[in-house]
Structure 1
Amino acid sequence: MSSLCPFAKGASVGGACPMKSVNNEKQQAENENKGDEESNPSDTVSPKCPYGFDSHTFKLGPLSCMICQSLLYQSSKCIPCSHKFCRVCISRFKDCPLCGADIEKIEPDTDLQVVVDRFIDGHARIKRSHGNADATEVKDVPKTVIYGDVSMERGAFLVQQAMRAFRGKNIESAKSRLSICAEDIRDQLQTSGDTPDLCSQLGAVLGLLGDCCRAMGDASSAVGYYEESVEFLSKLPAKDLELVHTLSVSLNKIGDLRYYDGDLQSARSYYAKSLDVRRNAVKEHTNLSSQVVDLAISLAKVADVDRNLGNEDVAIDGFKEAISWLESLKLEPSEAGLEQRRQSVLEFLSNQLAEKEPQQPVATV
């Protein structure tokens, strides 16, 4: 699951879920710290989340699971100590992670879960009025009313919680949060149309939902989410490298699932589409080393399927082209992580040429 926030480049849409960048959040925080040094033209005061659920001051609170460090999902309490966790998280333990007491049984805490669900539902949807409280009200002049963010944008908030849950191996929780986020964006699409920001956000979230389904072993649903992600991302100009990367990865993941299912022709079709996306990206950004590595990975995937289909000569040509791209790549000392990727792919390609036997496809990057 990618750690990139799909709302990093979004824009606010009316009074619904605003999608501003993380940089804007940081700037907002800096402006708030200036106090009265500068006057805010709209007299808007950014409300704060009472539990610290925002990008700057996140802390574990009474609505958090101490195991996955995300908001509680299917809240459950240990008996007899009564400490509370997500059901999936605590089911992996025999002793309470907080106090060490033997867990005799686990009971659902529906009352606490209702509170958590209400908190999620209301997040970023608090209606606030702004203006000078001491000023005399002028008759028939409407007040400025906005839907202020409790701490951070609702979409980014939900994705943040989903990623925390996913890293904590609570996939059901992650999927639930992402589903709410996708529903929010779909609602906005109905009123605002297929704007680039909304399409990119929905495409990214659908890709994350595909990752959740894949982790849960639901390949059919994963393919459905990946395909829908591709549908929305394909509507966007192929200039944003993050979107291009997300699009190509979704195509590769569909290809992987088709590959493992034995449908090699379908797998090759998706790998080839991803390869086309990455070839175009290299043409547009010839100086970016990461694009070259991605291109080599797509070449390797297509060549691997060609070999399995019996097209040995075509496969060898593909492997050799990928090696040529990687060997021509000159990396700076600061690009140690990318160099590790390059060496890993080179090793795979060299083994393919040496052994000339079908292997598992190189991992999606």
Structure 2
Amino acid sequence: MTTPVCPFVKAARPDDNGSAKKSTVGGSETTRKDSGDTATVSPKCPFGYDSNNFKLGPLSCMICQALLFDCTKCIPCSHLFCKVCISRFKDCPLCGADIEKLEADSNLQSMVDRFIEGHARIKRAHVGLNGEGEQVSNDDKKVIYEDVSLDRGAFLVQQAMRAFRAQNIESAKSRLIMCAEDIRDQLEKMGNTSELCSQLGAVLGMLGDCCRAMGDAAAAINYFEESVEFLTKLPADDLEITHTLSVSLNKIGDLKYYDGDLQASRSYYFRSLGVRRDVIKNHPGVASQILDVAVSLAKVADVDRTLGKEDVAVDGFQEGIKLLESLTLKSEEAGLEPRRLSVLAFLKSQLEEKQPEATASSVSS
């Protein structure tokens, strides 16, 4: 089972070892070059907040635990929440007071927006110690903060995920759009690097999920298709990237399926199956990837059956069953067993009798 890697986590690369030495200063990682007149440190917010510290106090909503969006005040208690979050309540969740009415707080929302815009965007002079241990500013040696797109991106994605889990979809979408714009700016400057394309592909997929949750299938498909476009530019041997790519293809297939476009649905499902088959050819022992192939087989076979290709559908269901029944999970992969049993039960039910209410588009991608 592969360990998911967030595309916004900047992992150390082998070639970093010879070019820089890393040390920990004040709880944050500092990278100092062995020579030259500059030192480079990780980007930091002037208020002390960064991608690993989300204690945002008055700038966050106590319901969704994300940054305030459409900041709204309860009257008469004056407690503040996101508009979508507090609209579900008749009493204040903090103090229990009856909510007589809700008022927008544009001043605080403006402060939140400024905080996001300025997050981690700062440069300052290097401060060192003199012979007596006193802090002195060395104007000749500047500290230039690294590109902030990763840190800011991780920050925005974290806030979006919190909002999405709390069903504050507009807030999640807003943060993800900002993140995508940041990455696009970096793509224009640096070109289509694997790291940036991976980030953008992931964010576009999340935006597709937001639009799907809001019932905007057309916008969701556009985001998923753009996600696919960027992810196909990346190395095909990266398991996390290929998984995300295949999921995006399946989600487009699901939306086409529900829209009644079965031929288009099958085309996307089949593309996803192809991506997943290639993965297990190169990584035959990865249980999670074998499960992915079985799911894709179920999706393609389900559409084939609906299109009247019963023999082809049965072959697909049987191939999926054979894969899962022969799959032996290692102790560290025990968490996959419930999913294996669920997909296996679905495949077997399709062989026993056709069940229109249980379509493969409902199987986890």
Q: TM-score range by the shorter chain?
A: 0.7 to 0.9
**Which residue type is aligned with residue 8 of structure 2?**
F
1:124–1:151 CA contact under 8 A, matched in 2: no
TM-score (norm 1): 0.86
Counterpart mapping for 1:64-103 below 5 A: 64-103=60-99
Change in CA separation of 1:49 and 1:322 when aligned onto 2, cut-off 3 Å = same
* 1:7 paired to 2:4: no
CA distance in 2, matches of 1:111, 1:248: 43
**Which residue type is aligned with residue 118 of structure 2?**
G
Q: CA deviation at 1:287?
A: 1.0
Aligned to 2:235: 237
Q: CA deviation at 1:50?
A: 6.6
Aligned to 1:155: 153
Q: CA deviation at 1:225?
A: 0.1
Q: CA deviation at 1:195?
A: 1.1
Change in CA separation of 1:59 and 1:137 when aligned onto 2, cut-off 3 Å = closer
Aligned to 1:262: 260
Please state whether the residue corresponding to 1:93 is helix, strand or coil. Answer: coil
CA distance in 2, matches of 1:153, 1:262: 41
Greater alpha carbon shift after TM alignment, 292-301 vs 192-201: 192-201
Change in CA separation of 1:51 and 1:349 when aligned onto 2, cut-off 3 Å = farther
Greater alpha carbon shift after TM alignment, 128-137 vs 105-114: 128-137
Q: Deviations over 1:136-195 (max 9, x none)?
A: 968xx6x52423689980111111111111111111111000000000011111111111
Change in CA separation of 1:149 and 1:49 when aligned onto 2, cut-off 3 Å = farther
Change in CA separation of 1:51 and 1:350 when aligned onto 2, cut-off 3 Å = farther
Give unpaired runs (5+ residues) of structure 1.
13-26
Q: 1:273 aligns with which of 271, 295, 309?
A: 271
1:162–1:177 CA contact under 8 A, matched in 2: yes
CA distance in 2, matches of 1:187, 1:150: 12
CA distance in 2, matches of 1:305, 1:253: 14
Give unpaired runs (5+ residues) of structure 2.
14-20, 131-135
Aligned to 2:364: 364
Please state whether the residue corresponding to 1:172 is helix, strand or coil. Answer: helix
Q: 1:118 aligns with which of 114, 120, 124?
A: 114
Q: Deviations over 1:99-122 (max 9, x none)?
A: 000001110000000100000000
Counterpart mapping for 1:122-161 below 5 A: 122-130=118-126, 132=128, 143-147=141-145, 153-161=151-159
TM-score (norm 2): 0.86
**Which residue type is aligned with residue 364 of structure 2?**
T
Q: Deviations over 1:288-334 (max 9, x none)?
A: 10010000000000000000000000000000000000011001244
Aligned to 2:180: 182
Q: CA deviation at 1:128?
A: 1.8
CA distance in 2, matches of 1:269, 1:43: 52
**Which residue type is aligned with residue 253 of structure 1?**
K
1:55–1:152 CA contact under 8 A, matched in 2: no
User: Over the residues paired in the alignment, what is the CA RMSD in angstroms?
Assistant: 2.8
Please state whether the residue corresponding to 2:144 is helix, strand or coil. Answer: strand
Aligned to 1:21: none
Q: Percent identity, aligned pairs only? A: 67
Q: CA deviation at 1:360?
A: 1.8
CA distance in 2, matches of 1:310, 1:101: 60
CA distance in 2, matches of 1:137, 1:330: 61
Aligned residues: 343
Q: 1:328 aligns with which of 326, 332, 341?
A: 326
Aligned to 2:101: 105
Q: 2:25 aligns with which of 19, 25, 32?
A: 32
Greater alpha carbon shift after TM alignment, 54-63 vs 223-232: 54-63
1:253–1:364 CA contact under 8 A, matched in 2: no
Change in CA separation of 1:180 and 1:309 when aligned onto 2, cut-off 3 Å = same
Please state whether the residue corresponding to 2:124 is helix, strand or coil. Answer: strand
CA distance in 1, matches of 2:252, 2:183: 23
Counterpart mapping for 1:175-254 below 5 A: 175-254=173-252
Aligned to 1:19: none
Q: 2:337 aligns with which of 332, 336, 339?
A: 339
**Which residue type is aligned with residue 359 of structure 2?**
Q
